[in-house]
């Protein structure tokens, strides 16, 4: 590429194309965002970040200095905690009993969070799919009941008869 700063334009094109997607402004995006807000997905992300940081701090305190520990500093502990909560495997693992209990608790948290997240996304998709069709536009004029129609027909029949 001749001018590296023009890469931002590429990003703009990607974002513009992404705006056509369902979540980013396409059909039904407002209702999608409302459903996700109702499910509190943003708060879930903040809580998950806090759990990862707290898990990393506890993991570092429990594992640092233990014989044979693979988690040597806070960076290792943060990597271990993040990998564990995102269900990604890591070459880091706890060697102490307390560290393993912490790891197990983080695994249970990850299972619960992913289950909730997938359920929320599924409910949004089902809700969008189950939307009723748009009502037909009302025709100009007056809607009459069957009795009113019969009364009008009889009036028209009387008007069509020759008077005499």
Domain ranges of the chain: 52-125
Q: Write the pLDDT tens digit of every residue in 84-109.
A: 998 887 888 899 999 999 999 999 99
Is the pLDDT at 24 greater than 50? The verdict is no
Is the pLDDT at 22 greater than 50? The verdict is no
Q: Would you state the pLDDT for residue 11?
A: 64
Q: Would you state the pLDDT for residue 98?
A: 95
Per-residue pLDDT, averaged over 130-137, amounts to: 66
Is the pLDDT at 48 greater than 90? The verdict is yes
Which comes out higher in pLDDT, residue 4 or 114?
Answer: 114
Q: Write the pLDDT tens digit of every residue in 53-88.
A: 999 999 999 998 899 999 999 999 999 999 999 888
Please state, in angstroms and as integers, the Cα–Cα distance from residue 45 to each residue in 37, 92, 130, following that order. Answer: 12, 24, 27
Quickly count: other Cβ atoms within 10 Å of residue 164's Cβ. Answer: 3
Average pLDDT, rounded, for the chain: 80
**Whole-structure pTM value:** 0.59
- Exposure pattern of 29-47 as b/e (b: 16+ CB <10 Å)? eeebeebbeebebeeeeee
Tell which residue, 134, 125, 129, has the closest CA to residue 23: 125
Is the pLDDT at 1 greater than 50? The verdict is no
CATH of domain 52-125: 1.10.287.70
Per-residue pLDDT, averaged over 155-163, amounts to: 81
Of how many residues is the chain composed?
164
């Amino acid at each position: 590429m001749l001018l590296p700063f023009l890469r931002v334009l590429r990003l703009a094109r990607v974002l513009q194309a992404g705006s056509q997607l369902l979540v980013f402004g396409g059909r039904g995006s407002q209702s999608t965002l409302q459903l996700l807000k109702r499910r509190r997905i943003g708060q879930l992300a903040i809580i998950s970040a806090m759990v990862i940081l707290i898990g990393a701090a506890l993991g570092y305190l429990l594992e640092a200095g233990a014989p044979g520990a693979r988690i040597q500093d806070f960076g290792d502990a943060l990597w271990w905690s993040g990998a564990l909560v995102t269900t990604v495997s890591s070459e880091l693992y706890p060697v102490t009993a307390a560290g393993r209990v912490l790891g197990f608790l983080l695994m249970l948290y990850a299972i619960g969070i992913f289950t909730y997240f997938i359920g929320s996304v599924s409910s949004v998709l089902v809700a969008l799919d189950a939307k009723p069709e748009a009502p037909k536009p009302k025709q100009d004029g007056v809607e009459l009941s069957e009795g009113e129609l019969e009364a009008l027909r009889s009036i028209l029949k009387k008007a069509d008869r020759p008077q005499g």
